[in-house]
Structure 1
Amino acid sequence: MTAQSNTTRAMSGRRPVLITGGAGFIGANLADALAAEGRDVLVYDALLRPGVAGNLAWLKERHPERISAVIADVRDAGSLAAAASEASAVIHLAAQVAVTTSLADPVADFAVNLGGTLTLLEALRRRPDPPPLVFASTNKVYGDLADLTFRRVGNAYAPEDQAILAHGIGEDRPLDFHTPYGCSKGGADQYVLDYARSFGVPTCVLRMSCIYGPRQMGTEDQGWVAHFLIRALEHRRITVYGDGCQVRDVLDVGDAVAAYRAALARIGQVKGRAYNLGGGPANAVSLRQVLSAIEAIVGHPLDLGFEEWRAGDQRYYVSDTRRAAADLDLAAPLPWRQGLTRLAAWLAESRGLHLEPQAVPA
């Protein structure tokens, strides 16, 4: 797992923002935004996921003087420490992201998600002036919410607890790690927070719900909004696990990028804290409701199939985003139907697929 020799350097003598997983979906959007405002960015990525090499090429083409890259795995401790040694700030996105993969290979899941995070934290702790780190956590740290009661209302589940229905799941919810993925990401989440307490490393955790948007190469295991759209555009069968009434709060990647940038800018005020990051109740939507909207966008019936529920899948998860909105001064998120329409247009264009203009809502 040694870094490839074709490591590129765009800057010289300047301290970049290090983004692990920087060629991924969120990382590429974040790198683009930071470079556009004049920040130097060091992308650290193993380029293992389909499409991410294209994201890196896109970044270099847009910002040749601002984007540099290290092609390496986060399990490569030497390369990761070297990249961290010169960073002015770190956004840690690199991860094994699929519950299904964690069940198939929990050791690798642990090594990437928890081992890689601890390696990075140690590299920062050893510096005389540890830079800030913002960590991409997950709503899976709250478990399957099995203690809550839900009822099905039409095509969506809703909680009986009216406070949760109104505001979502808050950060004071007890942690409850399920599946190896939940354990590895949850453990990393807690290590990141504790390094602020124990060692004074300025860290912040963002527990993300479902992020979607341009440059997302959605698969069946991760990135379900883009995955559904891709399958629909290509007239291919979409498999839904469960009954499709499970609810998530979806957030456009532009809003997620704004939150990460805000956390870095306010690290002195938010260090040592964890925030839920999602679309909130205003963008809470079931899989069936998204599929119905996709059908309207693509202009033809969808070919749907249903399979058994997958391990750790929550019937309902909606983020209480009030704390993040207040502390990070976040704007209201983009309405999900607008974001879905934008993503459909980007996917159609990027894949050379046809999308009837009249089928796309204004």
Structure 2
Amino acid sequence: MKTKTAIATLAIVLGVSGHSFAADLVFTSWGGTTQDVQKSAWADKFAAEESVNVVQDGPTDYGKIKAMVEAQGTTWDVVDVEGDYAIQAGEQGLLEKLDFSVIDKASLDPRFVTDYSVGSFYYSFVIGCNKDAVAACPASWAELFDTAKFPGKRTFYKWSAPGVIEAALLADGVPADKLYPLDLDRAFKKLDTIKADIVWWSGGAQSQQLLASAEAPFGSFWNGRLTALAATGVNVETSWAQNITAADALVVPKGAKNKDAAMKFIAYASSPEGQAEMAAGTGYAPTNLKAPALMDPALAKTLPDQQTASQVNADMAYWATHRDEIGERWYAWQSK
């Protein structure tokens, strides 16, 4: 009896009562409301099913991933990254190949699947406007760049990534099917016409604050942030005209200590059920093609995968190849 009591006590101390012990699995993402939903929709449920403690970390940092891998000291197991980075990092040897005997990719949107990544969610850059702050709202990229018809500040994503370059070219009349290769000279010339009126947002929460306060009463936003802002009572108008899609991806950094558990976590997160709950909580589109059937039809109709009439798909492979050179020019232009 004493022996059994001692073993039980030790099990409680180790946190393994009734289950075999498993090391913590570290999931890293961007923080904010999106990671909150990733935790509730994926991490908490996966932890309960697999008896694995899922630790949240963040924000995602590409420099840190590179440093950890090169130092052979990887501490992150699954990371939410931008889609173009996932392609580039895989090519650079910074990621583990995914195990598709564990991860079922049969129903995953093939646009967001590589040897090293699967889609976490996908979103659209759309035009958002605080209707209570202006007389009229821009409904196209051309109108968002028209400071005569729509005077005042406008807001755009600060970082070098798919979205703003494409919007500038579309505003300047480039047909959607002729965007690539990106004409950077033309894009920056167009951006110069509104540069003095741009307020940059570096994260989703900041973009919402800028719109709600009317510091920037219109601009380019992640669609899910506008959905969430409208739910708080802000009078938001969203234009889906030529909405520009991009995606986040789930990856496993090279040398991850819990690689097997990481593959199971990604399998859960990319399942129809995991993707349906993630989409319902964020307003971003699921990357599993079976997920919409599990969702409230009224909600499913509001997501980017239903806004395809004039939708523009950002070319993740192009961005992966040219990510560094575009970034160098982008930040040089911003600093002028």
Higher RCO (Cα < 8 Å, 6 or more apart) = 2
Q: TM-score normalized by structure 1?
A: 0.30
Task: Name the TM-score, length of structure 2 as normaliser.
Answer: 0.32
Larger radius of gyration: 2
